[in-house]
Structure 1
Amino acid sequence: MSDDELHRRLASYEGRAATVSGRGPDPVDPAMIRHWCEVMGDTNPAYSGPEAIAPPAMLQVWIMSGLSGPTARSAVFDELFSLLDAAGCTAIVATDCEQDYLRPLRPGDVITFDSVIESVSPRKDTRLGAGHFITTRTEIRAGGELAGVHRFRVLKYAPAARPAREAAERPRPVINRDNAGFWEGVAGRRLLIQRCDGCGRLRFPWLPGCADCGSARWTPIEAQGTGTVHSYVVMHHPPFPAFDPPYAVGLIELAEGVRMISNITGVRPPEVRIGMPVRLEFLRAGGEQWLPVFRAAEEGP
C-alpha cells in the first residue's frame, strides 16, 4: 500500500468516535487534589478549604482509567491502530497535549466525557521512525456541563533502525561561577554542600544566596557521603551512546538532610527501592572528569 493510499484510509477515521459515553472512575476528590498539589508544590489556597476547586491542569486526571485500561473506547479507535500496526507502525509515543478550561471542577463533581479522532497526519519522518500523528479531542463534562476540552496527540510509528553504538564519553557538566567550587571538590573526591553563614541552613545544589534568609555568605562543608534513596526512576529511553540502559537515577537524601540527583550503582535497576541505604563513590567519566554517584550499601543490623 502506498503512503498516499494509506493516508487516505487513515483520514477516513477523522471525526469518528474514539470514546463514547465515558465516565470518570471517581468523582472529583479532595484527597487526589491534595496529592497533586503536594507533588507539584502548588500551595494556591484556591485548591483547599470548603470552597476548593481542582487545579485546572488536573483535567485529564479525572478521566484516566488506570491499569485496567479504557472501558469506553470505541472499536473504531482499535481499527485505526490495527491498520497502522499492519503498516509497520507498531510503536507509539505521546507527543503533546492541549487543554481548554471552561469552568472549574469542584469536589463531588461527576465526570463524563466523549472523544473523537480529530486528525491523522500524512506520513512524517522523525528520528524515532516514520509514522503518523493522531490527535484525539475529548470533551469533559461535570454534571452534564462542558468543563474543558483535552486534545492529546501521539505518534504511531515504525521504529527506525538503530545505528551501531559508538563509544562515547558522558556529557560534561556545565560549570559556572556559582557551582565551580562544587566541581573542584569532586575533582578532589570530596562532596561539598553549602552552609549559609546567615541562618546556618544547608543547601544543595549550590546557589549564590540563601533562599531562606537571603544571605550571600556561605561556607562549603564536606558531606559524609551516606544517604538513602528518597525517590528514583529507571531509564529505558531514549538511548544515548554514553549510557547503557536500563539504569537507575535516584533522588538521594544525604545524611545532612539535603537531596541530590545522581546514578545508583551496585544493584540491578529493578532492585532499587525507596529507603535503600547508599554510599557515595566517585566514577571516572573519561579523562580527568569525575562524577559523584551512589552505590547501594548493605542494610545495617
Structure 2
Amino acid sequence: MAEQEWMSEVRAKVGREYGRVYAWDEVNAPMIRQWCEVMGVDNPLYTDADYAATTEFGGIVAPPAMLQAWCLEGLHANNYAPGSTDENPYEVLKTMEAHGMPSVVAVNSDLAFERYVKLGEKLYYTTKLEAIGEEKTTALGTGFFVTLIMSFFSQKPEGDEKVGQLTFRVFKFRAANVPTAAKADDKDSAPAVHKIKRPKPGMSDDTRFYWEGANAGKLMIQRCTCCSTLRHPPAPVCIKCHSFDWDTVQASGKGSVYSFVVMHYPEVPPFDYPNPVGLIELDEGVRIIAGLVGVKRDQIKIGQRVQVEFQSFDDGELILPMFRPVAA
C-alpha cells in the first residue's frame, strides 16, 4: 500500500537533532542518597564518602541507572532548566496522531553508559530522531516504529564528554478492527461509532475477591488468618508468617495520599489527560494504587485525605475504586 503523502513530511525530520535539555542541578550526594533509598540500592560506592574515597573513583559516584533522572523537569510538566530547548522532540508523534494514528505502545528502551558520573558534574542531553520504519501491520494495528536517541553529556571546559545514551522506540499506530465512519454522501449508512474501552484487570484466584468486591461497591483487603496481617496487593502467602491461610475484611475506604504521579503523555484512549494516579495509604495501614478524581493537578497534596468512590466504565462492564479528596 502506498505510503500516505503526509509521511514524507514526517520522514524529512529523520536525522534531526533537537536542542539541549539541561539538568537543574549538578550531580550531588543528597539526590543520589534519595534515589538509592527509593530504589532500595545500598551500594556504599554511592552513599559512603569514606568508602568511596578508597576506590578507583576517589569519591562518590552516581548510580548509572540514575542517568536519566538528572535531566528530568521535576514535579511540573515541561518545567526544564534555564537554557533548555523549547523544541518538541516528539513532534512527529503528534503529526501521526493528527492523521489517524492516536495509539502508541512502547516497544523497547535501552540505556547504555560510557562511564560513572561524579559529584559536581553538570549534565544535559540532546534528542535525535533516529529512524521511522516502514509501515507495519501487527495484531495491535497498522503504523510505524519510531526510534529516538537521547545522548547525555557532561559539560567540560575542554569539550563536553558523552556519558551515556538512551534509545527509545515506540509503535505509533491506528488500532486494528476500528470501524470508520460512513462517508458523508452515503445516505444509506449511519456513521459507525467505536468506543475504545478500558483494559480489564487480570484476575486470578488470589485477586478475584478484590474485583468482585469492587463490583459490589466494597473495598476488600486480604488478611492472614494466622497473624491477622493485612496485605495488598493480594498474594497467596503471608509476607509476615508465611501462612497460606487468608480471608478478607472490608476497608473503610478512607486514607491519605502517600504519593502520586500525573500522566501527561503518551495520551492513550480512553483515558483523560492529565491523568492523576495516587498511591493511597488506607487507614487500615496498607497502600493501594488508584486513580484520583475531583481534583486538579495543582491541588493534589501529599498527606491529603481521600475517600474511595466506585466508578462505572464501559456501560457497567468495569467497576473501579477511585479516590476523591475530602475536607480535612
TM-score by length of structure 1 reads 0.67
- Paired letter, 2:282: L
Residue 192 of structure 1 pairs with residue 220 of structure 2: yes
Q: Retained in 1: the 8 A contact 2:22–2:81?
A: no
In 2, Cα distance between the equivalents of 1:94 and 1:71?
31
In 1, Cα distance between the equivalents of 2:261 and 2:151?
30
* Residues 193-212 of structure 1 mapped to structure 2, 5 A cutoff: 193-212=221-240
* Residues 66-105 of structure 1 mapped to structure 2, 5 A cutoff: 67-68=79-80, 71=83, 97-105=109-117
Q: Retained in 1: the 8 A contact 2:148–2:167?
A: yes
In 2, Cα distance between the equivalents of 1:124 and 1:36?
40
Question: Among 300, 303, 309, which residue is 1:273 paired with?
Answer: 300
Question: Among 45, 48, 67, which residue is 1:59 paired with?
Answer: 67
In 2, Cα distance between the equivalents of 1:291 and 1:5?
43
Moved more, 138-147 or 251-260: 138-147
Question: Among 248, 258, 261, which residue is 1:220 paired with?
Answer: 248
Distance 1:61 1:268, change over 3 A: closer
Residue 49 of structure 1 pairs with residue 44 of structure 2: no
Q: Retained in 2: the 8 A contact 1:118–1:137?
A: no
Q: Retained in 1: the 8 A contact 2:149–2:165?
A: no
RMSD: 4.8
**Percent identity at matched positions?**
33
In 1, Cα distance between the equivalents of 2:298 and 2:127?
41
- Paired letter, 2:229: R
**Structure 2 portions without partners, runs of 5+:** 53-59, 174-179, 182-191
In 1, Cα distance between the equivalents of 2:275 and 2:11?
42
In 2, Cα distance between the equivalents of 1:207 and 1:269?
34
**Corresponding residue number in structure 1 for 2:151:** 138
**Corresponding residue number in structure 2 for 1:229:** 257
Q: What is the Cα deviation at residue 8 of structure 1?
A: 8.1
In 2, Cα distance between the equivalents of 1:69 and 1:97?
24
- Paired letter, 2:110: E
- Paired letter, 1:256: E
Q: Retained in 2: the 8 A contact 1:18–1:136?
A: no
**Structure 1 portions without partners, runs of 5+:** none
In 2, Cα distance between the equivalents of 1:238 and 1:201?
37
In 1, Cα distance between the equivalents of 2:24 and 2:44?
26
* Residues 19-58 of structure 1 mapped to structure 2, 5 A cutoff: 25-50=24-49, 51=52, 52-58=60-66
Q: What is the Cα deviation at residue 209 of structure 1?
A: 1.1
Q: What is the Cα deviation at residue 207 of structure 1?
A: 0.9
Q: Retained in 2: the 8 A contact 1:141–1:148?
A: no
In 2, Cα distance between the equivalents of 1:224 and 1:292?
12
TM-score by length of structure 2 reads 0.63
Query: For each residue in 1:27-55, what CA deviation from the matched residue of structure 2 results, as whole angstroms up to 9, or x when unmatched?
Result: 31111112322343444444321124311
- The DSSP-based 3-state class of the residue aligned with 1:228 is strand
Q: What is the Cα deviation at residue 254 of structure 1?
A: 0.8
- Paired letter, 1:61: A
Distance 1:70 1:216, change over 3 A: same
Residue 106 of structure 1 pairs with residue 128 of structure 2: no
Residue 291 of structure 1 pairs with residue 320 of structure 2: yes
- The DSSP-based 3-state class of the residue aligned with 1:183 is helix
Q: Retained in 2: the 8 A contact 1:7–1:122?
A: no
Residue 263 of structure 1 pairs with residue 275 of structure 2: no
Q: Retained in 2: the 8 A contact 1:105–1:142?
A: no
- Paired letter, 1:140: F
**Corresponding residue number in structure 1 for 2:176:** none
Distance 1:60 1:169, change over 3 A: closer
**Corresponding residue number in structure 1 for 2:130:** 119
Q: What is the Cα deviation at residue 258 of structure 1?
A: 0.9
